[in-house]
């Protein structure tokens, strides 16, 4: 079971290449040779990177959706839109498709990003959006922790 950890500040170059953090690479050393899949997040304006074995689990869930149910098909289309296999090049960089970088507002002027480990996946954020969305004080973290714990326990 993967437990990817860490927060890494990076830059995208003009060709959309990002040096993959060495500490994440070490955490993935047993499965990185399978490749990675990058896609848009469902809930926030960030990207999600799945190690290929984890993406296969997501794809298995998708295969249980009915091809004869319009909502299932619409969800599958929207979810899979932009999903792309990526590998690390000889220099340890990953090339992220420009359409996905545009989605998180990374461009030639704004190229600072944050990659975070999040259990079995990683997220890529525009640095400013990460500061506002994740580190901002707009939500009381202790209240959120209590709510989430209730969901897990069914009590409290």
Q: What predicted TM-score, i.e. pTM, was given to this entire model?
A: 0.88
The tokens for 130 are 């990460």
Placement of tokens 């461009």 in the chain: 107
Instruction: Spell out the domains of the chain, with CATH numbers in brackets.
Output: 7-153 (3.40.1550.20)
| pLDDT on residue 142 | 74
User: DSSP states of 61-80 as a string?
Assistant: HHHTS-TT-HHHHHHHHHHH
The tokens for 120 are 């079995």
pLDDT in tens, 125-153: 999 999 988 777 666 777 777 888 888 88
SS3 133: helix
Give bridge partners of residue 51 from the DSSP assignment: 36
pLDDT in tens, 37-89: 999 999 999 999 999 999 999 999 999 999 999 999 999 999 999 999 999 99
């Amino acid at each position: 079971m993967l437990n990817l950890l860490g927060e890494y500040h990076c830059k995208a170059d003009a060709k959309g290449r990002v040096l993959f953090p060495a500490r994440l690479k070490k955490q993935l050393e047993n499965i990185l040779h399978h490749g990675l899949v990058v896609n848009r997040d469902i809930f926030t304006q960030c990207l999600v990177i799945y190690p290929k074995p984890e993406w296969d689990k997501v794809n298995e869930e998708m295969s249980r959706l009915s091809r004869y149910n319009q909502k299932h098909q619409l969800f599958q289309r929207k979810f899979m839109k932009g999903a792309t296999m990526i590998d690390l090049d000889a220099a340890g960089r990953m090339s992220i498709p420009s359409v996905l970088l545009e989605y998180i507002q990374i461009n030639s002027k704004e190229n600072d990003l944050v990659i975070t480990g999040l259990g079995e996946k990683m997220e890529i954020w525009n640095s400013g959006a990460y500061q506002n969305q994740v580190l901002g004080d707009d939500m009381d973290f202790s209240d959120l922790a209590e709510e989430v714990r209730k969901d897990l326990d069914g009590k409290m």
